[in-house]
Amino acid sequence: MKRRDFLKATGATGLFILFRATAEAAPQLIPNRPAGYPQDFNAYLRIGPDGRVGCFVGKVEMGQGNMTALAMLAAEELDVPLDRVDILMGDTDLCPWDGGTGGSLSMWQFGPVLRGAGAEARAALLQLAAERLQVPADRLEVQAGVVSVKGEPARRVDYGQLVQGKRIERHLTDVKPKPFSAYTLVGKSAPRKDALAKVTGAARYTADQGLPGTLHACIVRPPAHGATLKAADTAAAERVPGVRVLRDGSLVAVLHALPDQARMAAALVKASFDGVPLALDDRSIYRHLTAKAGGAKVGVQEGDLKAGEARTSTLVEAEYLNAYVAHAAIEPHAALAQWKDGRMTVWTGVQAPFRVKAQVAEALGLPADKVRIITPYIGGAFGGKAAGPHAVEAARLAMKAGGAPVQVVWDRREEFFLDTFRPAAVVKIRSGLDPAGRITFWDCRVSGTSDREADIGYDLPAKRFASTGDAGDIGTSTGGGLHPFATGAWRAPAANTNVFARECHMDMLAAKAKVDPLAFRLRHLSDQRVIRVLETAAERFGWVAGAAPSGRGVGVACGSWRGTIVAAMAELSVAAATGQVRVKRVVLAQDMGLVVNPDGARQQMEGAVTMGLGYALTEGLRFKDGRILDENFDTYRIPRFSWLPAIETVLVANPELQAQGGGEPPIVCMGAVIANAVHDALGIRLFELPMTPERILAALKA
Amino acid sequence: MAKSTAFTLNGKKVKVAGDPARMLVDVLRYQLGLTGTKLGCGAALCGACTVLVDDEPAFSCSTPLADVAGKSVLTIEGLARDGVLNPVQRAFHDQHAFQCGYCTPGMILGAYALLKKKPRASRAEIMAELEGHLCRCGSHLRIVAAVEAAGREMGGVL
């Protein structure tokens, strides 16, 4: 639905709405509504005269399907059909504040907020209906938005009639959320709300807004990280008919009503740059990371490491490396900004519209209420659109464009240059086995990222987890310190790095102990959720116990993220002549607590397995002296159809646990499960991601 | 310099003024307002901008306007007829063969071009045809299944 139609349908443009619960009277349905979220449920829900429910959330839809799952939560609590719920997302003028879409938080953190608002709204509607129908509220029932007296279906009134476009204040007490057993919608797969728009080309992304008079901006960029613009001679560009050049400090842009003309004119700019880029490349970076990483922060230290080492009969020590990885969403970063009537409006695909609103306001020196961010559909983000530098660029230029809207769309080279990459990292693990084949100690030090998810709770008598470097967990960090360019959150930040290291190391220990890698894990586990997920994966996979390397090419790994437990098993073959890995089958089992929309959860699992093949096998950013050598998809290779394994997903039922994370967890095992299966196939151990054919051939020769 | 290029767009004759060396994707999106065609890589490497030119898939980011003179261009906007989804669109819709949806128009057109020629295309042929289309969300599994289902509908049972 178009935004304009949405507003009309839900009445948000005119008259309206409904109830107010005073803060003290508000039922503490959600004991701690996270800081920043409005307590008043009116912020989240509107009911139109036709009884349609308008749902307003600050989260954004970037493909992960929360548009549908969040609407399901509202529909469930209000007892209306899903197709009568309209959802508007990521508009800072119309939606309540939100901290951002990422970290698999939509269901886990925001879900209870929306459920609470829905339950409160339903209770208020029942109170209104009780007065209207002159019966106690406990004699009422709701079906599809119609309230009726139990046993007397003719005595009825619907939500639209109750609200009648009025704002009604209600003081509510004793509201309870629906128990899981009463759910009729949540827990069953639902049709995606964005399906029709996305298969017809009607879905509008940032660059599709088509605002009349838009100028397309092409920004002058440095050739390397560490270089800054010294001077830009734009005379030749300015001679191109229709071209305007705008400058704001070091931001220099060539603009034209047609984007390709702007690009052509920008190529005529003669720019010079200052600065000395860091003399680092994708090989020397690992030494740099460990050398720079002095003073590790100890996250966890338990037990006596020295005593553990003293009774070690087999010491296993290894370093695990992973390269910088790009987000490489197919939709580039884009923003359209318009300065009108003293306000800046920016349409832009960002994961945290409210954070970007503050960034834009700060960059322009405006009060926050003079900035509005509107988030259209996002064509993939994966953490790469957590911040809004592109929105700030468009807004700065629009400020100088005399009222003309300004659109900035990064080209693919800019995407690969300005991305906030997943940080390269080195994970060093020392550990050992006693003669009985039990782990004696575990000493892990992470350089380049945080130690998040380095520990899954294996029974370790002594353990230490330490890390240096920027987590890249929240937002982004700029280059110049530990990393030569900006790094940031990449789908399950730090977890892909740490699960790869830990689960490879578990396999090395299992191999030393000559024990089946699954049995070795179970021997060191007491967490029943992890055990159950591993056993579920094994059952579906048809895991046959045997010490690795068995020559079969099978592997196992488990991990966790945002409360969700995952286990992966894979089968693959390796062409010994070429080093090419062919992943044939992946089974992924997952306990994510209550599954709101099972089909949506499976989509995330299938997508994560497919995407994860990339960082496991091919994706590693090449760079030298500040220059990014990968500039497009010809050399930066992401998964394609020919790579596709059979993917089987298993949702481990645990509905009494509230919904946990869904978007990120299923990707965390992919590096390790493939590395372990490669070891099982050939007896070689790859310590570095990606596991390219060249590295596999080198390991075979060694 | 008032050049113009005539071609058929989604069944209707159009005449576009301007430099015929401009790329079709820019003309479609910014001159004709058809934004269903997406720009992904600008170098014929991702398939997001795929349209059909005389029923053959073409990367519109790398197809000059001059190349479609006198030809018939089909974009995603022209695939559904009278509000009825094409079988490929319907299969993508029903099977949720997309996530972010950005590669979807190009993906659907690429698959449609194959099935129009060969409705009984095998799974291997479908995957080979779509190999040049990138999907970062990892919807590949469902896309293949959706194209197979659409093929059954377009060409009878395999």
Task: Report pLDDT for A469.
Answer: 66
Tell me the β-bridge partners of A231: A272
Tens of pLDDT, residue by residue over A517-569, are 999 999 999 999 999 999 999 999 999 999 999 999 999 999 999 999 999 99
Chain A touched by B85 (CB under 8 Å) = yes
Residue A2, pLDDT above cutoff 60: no
CA A422 from centroid of its chain's CA atoms = 12
Strand-pair category, A228-233 with A244-248: unpaired
Token pair listed for A682: 């050939």
Residue A476, pLDDT above cutoff 80: no
Give percent of chain A above pLDDT 70.
92
The answer to whether residues A621 and A661 belong to one domain is: yes
Measure CB to CB from residue A200 to each of B39, B80, B137 and give the nearest one: B80
The answer to whether residues A260 and A113 belong to one domain is: no
Q: Which amino acid is at A360?
A: V
Task: Report pLDDT for A482.
Answer: 84
SS3 label, residue B10: coil
Find the radius of gyration of the CA atoms of chain A: 27
Tens of pLDDT, residue by residue over A654-676, are 999 999 999 999 999 999 999 99
- Write down the residue that tokens 């548009």 correspond to: A67
The answer to whether residues A294 and A185 belong to one domain is: no
The answer to whether residues A449 and A338 belong to one domain is: no
- Write down the residue that tokens 């839900």 correspond to: A10
Final residue in a domain of this structure, among B46, B78, B110 = B78
Final residue in a domain of this structure, among A193, A228, A247 = A193
The answer to whether residues B54 and B102 belong to one domain is: no
Residue A157, domain member (yes or no): yes
Chain A touched by B27 (CB under 8 Å) = no
The answer to whether residues B99 and B143 belong to one domain is: yes
Strand-pair category, A425-433 with A343-348: unpaired
Chain B CB contacts of A258 under 8 Å are 22, 26, 30-31
Under 8 Å CB-to-CB from B65, ≥6 apart: which residues?
A: B5, B16, B18, B19, B20, B21, B22, B23, B24, B27
Query: How many domains does chain B contain in total?
Result: 2
pTM (2 decimals)? 0.95
Average model confidence (pLDDT) across chain A: 92
Chain A touched by B130 (CB under 8 Å) = yes
Lowest mean pLDDT among A281-295, A298-312, B52-66, B92-106: A281-295
Q: Residue A12's pLDDT band (boundaries 50, 70, 90)?
A: very low
The answer to whether residues A21 and A112 belong to one domain is: yes
Measure CB to CB from residue B100 to each of A62, A201, A638 and give the nearest one: A62
Task: Report pLDDT for B67.
Answer: 98
Task: Report pLDDT for B156.
Answer: 57
Decide if A490 contacts A327 (C-beta within 8 A).
Answer: yes
* Max Cα-Cα span within chain A: 85
Q: Residue A391's pLDDT band (boundaries 50, 70, 90)?
A: very high
Question: A642 vs B127: CB contact, 8 Å cut-off?
Answer: yes
Residue A273, pLDDT above cutoff 80: yes
Cα torsion angle, A31, A34, A40, A44, sign? negative
Q: Which amino acid is at A265?
A: A
Give percent of chain B above pLDDT 70.
97
> Mind telling me how many Å the CA of B137 is from chain A's nearest CA?
5
Structural domain of A42 = 3-193
3-state SS, B66-79, equals HHHCCCEEECHHHC
Tens of pLDDT, residue by residue over B7-64, are 999 999 999 999 999 999 999 999 999 999 999 999 999 999 999 999 999 999 999 9
Q: Residue B119's pLDDT band (boundaries 50, 70, 90)?
A: very high
Residue ranges of E strands in A90-242: 140-143, 146-149, 152-158, 215-219, 228-233
Residue A473, pLDDT above cutoff 90: no
> Mind telling me how many Å the CA of B156 is from chain A's nearest CA?
23
Structural domain of B110 = 87-155
- What CATH number should be reported for the domain holding residue B138? 1.10.150.120
The answer to whether residues B105 and B53 belong to one domain is: no
Measure CB to CB from residue A199 to each of B93, B100, B130 and give the nearest one: B93
Task: Report pLDDT for A676.
Answer: 98
Cα three-residue angle A152-A158-A161, rounded to 5 degrees = 130
| Chain A residue closest in CA terms to B129 | A641
The answer to whether residues A366 and A490 belong to one domain is: no
The answer to whether residues A159 and A233 belong to one domain is: no
Measure CB to CB from residue B138 to each of A199, A203, A639 and give the nearest one: A639
> Mind telling me how many Å the CA of A631 is from chain B's nearest CA?
10
The answer to whether residues A557 and A683 belong to one domain is: yes
SS3 label, residue A447: strand
Under 8 Å CB-to-CB from A455, ≥6 apart: which residues?
A: A300, A444, A463, A465, A502
Q: Which amino acid is at A526?
A: S
Question: A330 vs B136: CB contact, 8 Å cut-off?
Answer: yes
The answer to whether residues A211 and A290 belong to one domain is: no
DSSP string, A365-389: T--GGGEEEE--B-S--TTTTSS-H
Task: Report pLDDT for B32.
Answer: 97
> Mind telling me how many Å the CA of B69 is from chain A's nearest CA?
20
Question: A199 vs B89: CB contact, 8 Å cut-off?
Answer: yes
Chain A CB contacts of B93 under 8 Å are 195-196, 199
Q: Residue A639's pLDDT band (boundaries 50, 70, 90)?
A: very high
Average confidence (pLDDT) over A161-168: 79
The answer to whether residues A104 and A242 belong to one domain is: no
Chain A touched by B63 (CB under 8 Å) = no
Question: B102 vs A379: CB contact, 8 Å cut-off?
Answer: yes
Chain B CB contacts of A195 under 8 Å are 92-93, 96, 98
Final residue in a domain of this structure, among B54, B78, B102 = B78
The answer to whether residues A390 and A483 belong to one domain is: no
Average confidence (pLDDT) over B79-99: 96
Token pair listed for B7: 């071609």
Decide if A657 contacts A187 (C-beta within 8 A).
Answer: no
Question: B45 vs A198: CB contact, 8 Å cut-off?
Answer: no
Residue A129, domain member (yes or no): yes
Chain B CB contacts of A611 under 8 Å are 136-138
Under 8 Å CB-to-CB from A114, ≥6 apart: which residues?
A: A44, A55, A57, A70, A73, A74, A77
The answer to whether residues B97 and B66 belong to one domain is: no
Question: A201 vs B29: CB contact, 8 Å cut-off?
Answer: no
Task: Report pLDDT for A20.
Answer: 38
Question: What gap in Å lies between CA A369 and CA A146, rounded to an integer?
Answer: 39
Q: Cα torsion for A506, A508, A514, A517, to the nearest 10°?
A: 40
Q: Residue A276's pLDDT band (boundaries 50, 70, 90)?
A: confident
Measure CB to CB from residue A329 to each of B30, B33, B136 and give the nearest one: B136
Strand-pair category, A140-143 with A146-149: antiparallel
Task: Report pLDDT for A477.
Answer: 59
Task: Report pLDDT for A24.
Answer: 40
Question: What gap in Å lies between CA A148 and CA A119, rounded to an integer?
Answer: 18
Question: What gap in Å lies between CA A673 and CA A613, rounded to an integer?
Answer: 10
Token pair listed for A497: 């790095």
- What CATH number should be reported for the domain holding residue B57? 3.10.20.30
| Chain A residue closest in CA terms to B107 | A199
Question: B75 vs A201: CB contact, 8 Å cut-off?
Answer: yes
The answer to whether residues B61 and B123 belong to one domain is: no
Q: Residue A168's pLDDT band (boundaries 50, 70, 90)?
A: low
Chain B CB contacts of A639 under 8 Å are 138, 140
Residue A199, domain member (yes or no): no
Question: B35 vs A377: CB contact, 8 Å cut-off?
Answer: no
Task: Report pLDDT for A170.
Answer: 75
> Mind telling me how many Å the CA of A154 is from chain B's nearest CA?
37
Residue A30, pLDDT above cutoff 50: no
Measure CB to CB from residue B140 to each of A198, A379, A610 and give the nearest one: A610
- What CATH number should be reported for the domain holding residue A95? 3.30.365.10
Decide if A400 contacts A248 (C-beta within 8 A).
Answer: yes
The answer to whether residues A383 and A463 belong to one domain is: no
Cα torsion angle, B132, B137, B139, B143, sign? negative
Measure CB to CB from residue A200 to each of B39, B89, B127 and give the nearest one: B89
Q: Residue A42's pLDDT band (boundaries 50, 70, 90)?
A: confident
> Mind telling me how many Å the CA of B134 is from chain A's nearest CA?
6
Residue A416, domain member (yes or no): no
